[in-house]
Each structure stands twice: as C-alpha cells, then as structure tokens.
C-alpha cells in the first residue's frame, strides 16, 4: 500500500478506494510523506483511533499523549 501511495497510482484491489481517498486528501498539503511502520507501532495508532472513536472526539496529539496510549505502548514494549 505504501508503494502505491508514494507512486500515486491506482489500484484495482480492495484497498484501491482507500488509496484513491488518501491521495485525494493529500492535495491540500504542501508536503507529505508516507512511511511503512512496524506492526506494533501500528497497533498503538489503532488503539488511539479506536479510543477516539469510542469517545466520539477528535484528538490532536501536539505535545501531549493520552494515558490510554501510554498504557498500550507499555503493553507492546513487553
């Protein structure tokens, strides 16, 4: 998926719609970079998104990390 995003090319698989939406959203930014992350790091991002969805709130993580995110990181470090 990261390769498809970097090359900004279409994809006919199941993730094609996601790639199209992400690339369409990128036009509002001057700069953007896509990187592959390790699976355990993605788990932390998933936990942040899931908890935000449960709380029905948008969270901007600038200079602060929610307590539940710290708990998830500690679990993944073990």
| CA atoms of 6 and 4, how far apart (whole Å) | 6
What's the pLDDT score for residue 9?
A: 60
Nearest alpha-carbon partner for 68 in 56, 19, 50: 50
Determine the Cα angle at 18 with ends 13 and 24, to 5°.
125
pLDDT tens profile 4-44: 666 666 556 677 777 777 777 777 777 777 777 777 677 77
Q: Which is more confidently placed, 60 or 11?
A: 60
Nearest alpha-carbon partner for 43 in 9, 69, 17: 69
Average pLDDT on 55-63 reads 71
Domain definitions of the chain by residue range: 1-36, 39-77
What's the pLDDT score for residue 64?
A: 77
Residue 68 has pLDDT above 70, yes or no: yes
């Amino acid at each position: 998926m990261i390769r498809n995003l970097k090359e900004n090319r279409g994809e006919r698989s199941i993730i094609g719609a996601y790639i199209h939406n992400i690339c369409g959203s990128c036009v509002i930014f001057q700069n953007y970079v896509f990187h592959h992350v390790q699976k355990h790091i993605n788990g932390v991002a998933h936990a942040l998104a899931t908890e935000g969805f449960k709380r029905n709130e948008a969270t901007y993580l600038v200079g602060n990390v929610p307590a539940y995110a710290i708990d998830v990181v500690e679990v993944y470090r073990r």
